[in-house]
Amino acid sequence: MKAKPNLYRLIIGACICLVTVNGAKAQSTINNLTNTVSISTLNATISENWPSPAVVVIRRTGDLRAVTVPLTITGTATPGLDYKSSVGASVTIPMGLREVWIHFVPLSDNLTEGPENIEVTLQNSPAYTIGSQNSTTITITDNSTVPADAAASRFLIQAAFGADPDEMAKVKALGYSAWIDQQMTRPYGYLETIVRKRMARGIPPFPQETKVALWTQMMRRTPAGQTDTTDILRLRVAYSLLQILVISQQQEALANNPAGVCNYFGILMRGAFGNFRQMLLDVTLHPTMGFYLSHVGNKKPDPILNTFPDQNYAREIMQLFTIGLWELNNDGTRKLSGGKPIPTYDNKDIAEFSRVFTGLKFGGPYNNANTAERGDEYYDSPMIIHEPNHDTGAKKLLRGITLPAGQNTMQDINAAIDNLFNHPNVGPFISNLLIQRLVTSNPSPAYINRVATKFNNDGNGVRGNMGAVVKAILMDPEARDFSKTTEPAFGKLREPYMALMNFAKTFNAQNITGEYDPAVYFYDVYLQDFFDSPSVFNFYLPAYRSPGVITNMGKFSPEFQILTAVTVLESHNNLHNGVYRDIARYNAPPNEQIILKYDNELPLASNPDALITHLSNKLTGGTLRPSTAQIIREAVLNITEGSNDWEIERVKLAVYLVGTSAEFNVQK
């Protein structure tokens, strides 16, 4: 094992096999054949503002013995000023290998020079013959505010549901910051509206309607020049917030009320760029949360009956929704006392907060505040209050705050929300969780501190401005800097359900109906599905550590908690089905089929290097390693030109193999 293994790729590599082809060693044992040497480039255009290197590939066929290939490097670009490379006057292909890779890294000189080029040419040698291509050219573009394709794709993998062509064009036209600002002005795409329109057409309110609504909104596109109908960043942030402020249709009552559940999701949509305090209050008063964490119908203590308020919500609003278990510094590190972490609350605090959340009952058209019982279950109207059920005694909250006796329900609830919202833990706690969902499982303390500082004060004296927080997360140097893509511990395992949505969005798998009924029943494949968390603790814990390398390095890997031998195989089988047929768990009628479109890939079928580079930029943000590209290229070339459907078969195989690669599954 290397001293600094890429911890995510190491573990993914143990679970994921691309193909049964040895990517490094030649298959033949014959060593008396004549070498034929050729040259190619995996990415022919590189940019000063995104220093991903150009990779020149020297390939040979025939003999397996080591061979040295002399080169000449010319062009208008100046080594040491415009680019750097470790290559000298020749390269050696070691014994048994079929290819070697030369990296050319662009250097930013902040000069407007126009495109410059590097030309690498093979020289003759008695040790080999030169194939059909004896030279290759790399173009270096100037530093620019226009993001490179790979950089824009990587941004949309973090900020959206993949690099769909429309948003790619907008990101490249506007730049990251302006694109985020524009997203915050787009109209809300409420999922409840989709569900209710379908119900009005007579479609029953089955549990899967929430999934259909998510896919319907996620798959909408806004071609250039047309009115925006998508709010993809808001949807992505709300999707992430649902893994923090969890409710789940694993509860039967919520499973049978998709409109009410999507009504709750509307709170997260508004909260994605709104204020955290308001979102926390709205979550507290929403009947789906009241049912899920059982504070709807909560009554004050009764010493005669020896009954007490339910403590479920009181515990989780602290542990999971706001402050966590331990006192934190602003950079997310734990405060210590005597060398030990300091708890944020204890059981007495839970009991006191549970008394705050008494007096609430179901709202809706047929319930009123005058009856003591919790009322008929309506999940799309805020809970209402029956004051006689509320505990009006004094209550001791956190950090020395005491609520006076005699307050009504909303006075107590608002005071408790303020008490939690203003706790110094909230900024680093929520910032870390959102960074984990969008960018990396292991943000540095400095990254957390920068985002938490923005939570604490958006620059205009406002605390809890989630729009400012989201922008700080996505614009942070750790999110945007190319160098982070090469750090072993940076990034995150792509959520398996998110990976499927990335494919659908990236390859524009819109169906004829514009509704996505087949995109359901994925939980048994991924151990993950929209609104189907097995508990309030989400699908995985933010502090989960996969056994082995990750644990030994002291790093976190939340999504690895649902990565098993079964889910790896199931998810790749399901991906194969999606690539080769359609995205569905059953046979969908033709007008509902969710079929990936390969219009931009088919013209590249005759050039596997170009095809693979294109897919790397599109799906991984340009992080596909040359060794992986070699495996995919050699597999693709087994489909010979001129055979039946060779173009589409090459494309599908390349797409599938990129999708099963460690570089795709580990979001960098």
Q: Quick one: three-class SS letters along 387-422?
A: HHHCCCCCEECHHHCEECCCCCHHHHHHHHHHHHHC
CA 286, CA 384: separation in Å to the nearest integer?
10
Average pLDDT over residues 627-646: 96
Query: What backbone torsions phi and psi does residue 92 show, to the nearest 5 degrees?
Result: -115, 125
Q: pLDDT for 283-308, tens place per residue?
A: 999 999 999 999 999 999 999 999 99
User: Any idea what the Cα angle at residue 201 is, between residues 195 and 207, rounded to 5°?
Assistant: 40
**Is the CB of residue 662 less than 8 Å from the CB of residue 8?**
yes
Question: Given a cut of 60, is residue 188 above it in pLDDT?
Answer: yes
pLDDT for the residue numbered 30: 43
Q: pLDDT for 330-349, tens place per residue?
A: 999 999 999 999 999 999 99
pTM of the predicted protein model:
0.93
Percentage of the chain modeled with pLDDT above 90 = 88
Kindly indicate the confidence band of residue 586, based on its pLDDT and cuts at 50, 70 and 90.
Answer: confident
3-state secondary structure 142-205: CCCCCCCHHHHHHHHHHHCCCCCHHHHHHHHHHCHHHHHHHHCCCCCCCHHHHHHHHHHCCCCC
Q: Give the residue carrying structure tokens 């004896």.
A: 134
Query: What backbone torsions phi and psi does residue 403 show, to the nearest 5 degrees?
Result: -85, 130
Question: Given a cut of 90, is residue 650 above it in pLDDT?
Answer: yes
CA 205, CA 254: separation in Å to the nearest integer?
11
Average pLDDT over residues 424-430: 98
**Is the CB of residue 182 less than 8 Å from the CB of residue 230?**
no
Please name the residues in contact with 487: beta carbons below 8 A apart, sequence gap of 6 or more. none
**Is the CB of residue 449 less than 8 Å from the CB of residue 332?**
yes
pLDDT for the residue numbered 229: 73
Q: Give the residue carrying structure tokens 């999940």.
A: 379
Question: Given a cut of 70, is residue 23 above it in pLDDT?
Answer: no
Question: How much of the chain is helix, strand and coil, in % rounded to 5?
Answer: 40, 15, 45
Among residues 19, 18, 28, the alpha carbon closest in space to that of 96 is found at 28
CA 150, CA 617: separation in Å to the nearest integer?
5
CA 429, CA 619: separation in Å to the nearest integer?
30
Residue type, 133: Q
β-strand 128-130 against 35-41: which pairing, if any?
Answer: parallel
- Residue 138's DSSP bridge partners are 118
